[in-house]
């Protein structure tokens, strides 16, 4: 490793010239971070939108940049007890928060869940492990301690910024009382609202990927993260403690953040063809799970997440590896992958949007699968034996929860505001201070139905009777 790294300038299409601290440059130049060049930001979206070619690599650099800008702005505008080490920790967390993403980003989390429904694995967990591995094998942890004065508490702080309270490997460094973090005291609670904000969902991670996704997709983003960085301020609330608040006149800008989130989820992230492709990627990985081995330890795909040295080898490239495999044991996975590259995707049968309370059974996979079987029986009965036989396994129901980031709550209600003439006192804004044209509801469920087979007659038959499935899903479980 270079003993005397220097500040470097990266040119980013979203943020322009980004100046990076030498320690961050050292992290970027490791194989563990470079791995992110081969993980698409939008998963299967690149198979639909030609501009969606960006990767987790550039997003992570952008988050580190915005995190640094926000901390520096707070330090400049206010007399806060933010140290150079605090600032560096926040930047590192922004840079490393996505180290744990698997192939095709969030698609891999779906794979892990479908493979094992009881799995609680999230990429943030793997990010913490990968950061610790990166720092150790490249000698960076030694440099952080020796040259920058990092202590155990600082490493804990970085992990908490990425994961939240009680990250993997927590050492219980002290009496946490009712404060769930060990890395920094309650007095610095606002630092935990920068990279991954568990209070309001307003953080620089979202600000970067919304701006970046819109840029690459050619969509206008009306939210201004530049204005957020300028008007963000720390206020002390008796209940919530020190928190990042926003100028009252910026309320509509903050609503735009969640409006663009909703728009992207509806039109891009959950586009019908995007979801068809991602379903196929998940099915290919499941089919390959017991036959595809990784690294010197010969681990399966799912086992690799617990071993950073093996997980290093797991990127989007896995589809090409499956495609070019020759063993019969991978024939099913290879056939699905060939369909993807031939653009012979699963067929979209139909979709419908519900209010969450209308389809509560979607939270229970067994219950909605039972409803799917009832619907299949109905369709086959209507076909009167004239269609080829088909089963529920050939169909895929996808319940997709879309909200403003806090389930059915308005996240802006959790955000403190301040007025120009009293910048130290956090307040809540009423509708007559913002607008009566604001959303009245903040969550919905979009249900999509796909057919995995290739029989055109089955597709047409299923489409004709899709309304019956929506009726089934709206029936209460006790009606079964």
Cβ atoms of 407 and 443 closer than 8 Å: yes
Residue 65 CB contacts under 8 Å (≥ 6 apart), including other chains: 12, 15, 18, 20, 94, 208
Closest C-alpha among 115, 118, 119 to residue 289: 115
- Do the beta carbons of residue 244 and residue 193 sit within 8 Å? yes
Helix extents (H) in 81-169:
84-96, 106-115, 123-137, 140-148, 152-163
From the candidates 54, 97, 101, 123, which is the catalytic residue? 123
End-to-end Cα, the chain, rounded Å: 64
Reference 442, options 409, 399, 401; nearest CA is: 409
| Residues 283, 451 contacting (CB under 8 angstroms) | no
User: Is residue 216 within 8 Å of residue 54, measured between CB atoms?
Assistant: yes
- Reduce the DSSP state of residue 359 to 3 states and report it: helix
Q: Work out the number of other CB atoms within 10 angstroms of the CB of residue 377.
A: 11
Chain position carrying tokens 């920058």: 148
CA proximity to 202, closest of 70, 113, 85, 109: 70
CB 48 within 8 A of CB 277: yes
Which one, of 398, 361, 405, 381, lies nearest residue 260 by Cα?
A: 405
Q: What is the distance between the alpha carbons of residues 390 and 369, in angstroms, rounded to a whole number?
A: 15
Distances (CA, A) of 266 to 274, 355, 385, 395: 11, 15, 37, 22
For the question of residue 465 being annotated catalytic, the response is no
Catalytic residues: 123
């Amino acid at each position: 490793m270079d003993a005397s790294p220097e500040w470097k300038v990266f040119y980013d299409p979203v943020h322009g010239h980004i100046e990076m601290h030498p320690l961050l440059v050292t992290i970027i130049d490791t194989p563990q971070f470079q791995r992110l060049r081969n993980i698409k930001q939008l998963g299967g979206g690149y198979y639909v939108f030609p501009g969606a070619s960006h990767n987790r690599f550039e997003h992570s650099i952008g988050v580190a940049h915005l995190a640094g800008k926000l901390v520096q702005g707070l330090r400049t505008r206010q007399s806060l007890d933010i140290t150079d080490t605090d600032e560096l920790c926040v930047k590192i967390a922004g840079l490393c928060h996505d180290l744990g993403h698997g192939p095709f980003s969030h698609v891999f989390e779906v794979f892990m869940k479908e493979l094992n429904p009881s799995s609680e694995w999230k990429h943030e967990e793997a990010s913490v492990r990968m950061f610790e591995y990166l720092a150790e094998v490249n000698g960076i942890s030694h440099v952080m301690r020796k040259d920058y004065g990092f202590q155990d508490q600082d490493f804990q702080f970085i992990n908490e910024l990425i994961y939240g309270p009680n990250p993997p490997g927590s050492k219980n460094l002290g009496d946490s009382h009712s404060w769930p973090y060990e890395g920094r005291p309650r007095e610095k609670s606002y630092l935990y609202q920068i990279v991954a904000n568990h209070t309001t969902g307003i953080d620089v991670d979202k600000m970067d990927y919304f701006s970046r996704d819109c840029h690459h997709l050619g969509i206008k983003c009306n939210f201004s993260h530049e204005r957020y960085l300028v008007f963000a301020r720390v206020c002390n609330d008796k209940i919530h403690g020190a928190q990042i608040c926003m100028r009252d006149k910026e309320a509509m800008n903050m609503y735009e953040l969640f409006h663009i989130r909703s728009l992207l989820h509806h039109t891009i992230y959950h586009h019908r063809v995007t979801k068809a492709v991602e379903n196929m990627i998940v099915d290919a990985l499941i089919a390959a799970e017991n036959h595809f081995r990784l690294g010197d330890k010969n681990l399966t795909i799912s086992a690799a997440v617990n071993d950073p040295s093996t997980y290093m080898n797991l990127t989007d490239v896995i589809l090409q590896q499956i495609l070019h495999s020759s063993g019969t044991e991978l024939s099913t996975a290879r056939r699905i992958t060939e369909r993807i590259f031939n653009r012979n995707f699963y067929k979209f049968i139909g979709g419908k949007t519900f209010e969450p309370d209308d389809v509560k059974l979607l939270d229970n996979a067994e219950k909605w699968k039972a409803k799917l079987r009832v619907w299949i029986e109905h369709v086959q009965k209507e076909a009167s034996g004239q269609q080829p036989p088909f089963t529920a396994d050939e169909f895929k129901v996808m319940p997709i929860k879309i909200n403003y980031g806090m389930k059915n709550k308005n996240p802006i209600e959790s955000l403190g505001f301040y007025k120009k003439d009293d910048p130290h006192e956090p307040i809540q804004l009423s509708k007559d201070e913002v607008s009566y044209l604001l959303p009245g509801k903040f969550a919905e469920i979009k249900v999509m139905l796909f057919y995995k087979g290739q029989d055109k007659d089955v597709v047409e038959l299923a489409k004709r009777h899709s309304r019956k499935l929506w009726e089934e899903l709206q029936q209460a479980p006790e009606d079964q």
